[in-house]
Amino acid sequence: MLLELPKKITALKKMTHQLANEMLRPISRKYDLAEHEYPTELDMVASMLDGMNEGNESGVGAGEASQKKKREPGSVSNGSNMIAIAGIEEFCWGDVGLLLTLPRQGLGNAAISAVANEEQLKRFKNKWAAMAITEPNTGSDSASITTTAKKDGDHYVLNGEKIFITCGARADIIVVWATLDKDIGRAAIKSFAVEQGTPGMDLIRLEHKLGIKASDTAAVMFTDCRVHKDNLLGDEEINVEKGFAGVMETFDNTRPLVAAMAVGLAKASLDQANNLLKSHLKMDYSTPINNVSAVEAELYKMEADWEAARLLTYKAAWMADNGMPNSKDASIAKAKAGRVCNHITLKCVELCSSLGYSETELLEKWARDSKILDIFEGTQQIQQLIVARRLLGKNSSELK
């Protein structure tokens, strides 16, 4: 196995790291304290990203569905998914909240990439798309969505409430998951690209959060909201055999992206902790772990956990780029990276004592930011359930 990234992606990582260091880190604390204020500095970053992404439809912020990839037998590719992972990792070394509010890099863009047809891919190219799945009474179980979409001539009429929409007030489009028929179940759930300003789509509130404060998190109500049938992403026919595949294809795209966010944030905390503690540590990797100080041993164990999370994340992205079903691996990567990131950021706060806990350093902010990475796009428990289903060959009704 060759575990090194190709030169073109290594170059991208270096460029993105420089962007994160010079343009995100300096404004990180500013927008942590100014929740709901739009970071205007990101417009320049987004323009630079547009140039970097020229010719790459998915961009740095969104991967491409593995089901759409067609490769010659025996060929290997590092494509849009690996590019997205590499870029996101470095951006989140800078700031997760700012990455989440970068124009035209929303999680909804990954949803569009996963299920949209060719015409829709072209029409929504360069649009900023948020994703709306969660409802007040529907959290981790996306199959129990109650927002409805009723056909009325050339339009669908949407009714329901969506919450925890990342960039729901700032994005150009909100990708809304709704059911065409509650009696049919998960097979009837489809996604709709609803443009901002559409009558019947109303912003209810912006949430106040523990972390990622630079990113707005919205609640939106849909009341007789009419959406043209051309904005239903993918096929409007209900395929009972395919079932929930459209939603799962989206998650197979986005879960490695969230894992990459966790990998980048954990690395930021490790780097900063090592820097703050360097005068007290030798960090001699040739010495057995039982013969070093307790602090050094903790750092070694965290670095090993971080490396495992990073490689699992790269594997899930690589599988997508090479046309391999990656649902199990995407969930493994997301579960591992989210848990590791939570542990590392909190432990680094602890090891750095007063510096870790105060606003003098960004460590306390990173600890707050990290929690969401183990929650959104499927909680730790949901990821483990998905992995168990894949390993045991059971469906959602057989293993709950």
Q: What are the strands, taking DSSP E only, across the chain?
A: 129-132, 148-152, 155-166, 173-179, 189-195, 201-206, 217-228
Distance of CA 146 to the CA centre of its chain: 23
Strands 217-228 and 189-195, bridge-based pairing: unpaired
Residue from 89, 90, 361, 377 carrying the catalytic annotation: 377
Cβ(88)–Cβ(61) below 8 Å: yes
> Encoding tokens for residue 238?
């209900």
Q: Following DSSP, what letter does each residue of 34-66 receive, concatenated?
A: STT---TTHHHHHHHHHHHTTT-SS-TT----G
- Using CA atoms, how far apart are residues 140 and 42, in angstroms rounded to an integer? 31
Distance of CA 111 to the CA centre of its chain: 11
Is residue 4 part of the annotated active site? The answer reads: no
Cβ(333)–Cβ(259) below 8 Å: yes
Catalogue the active-site residues: 377
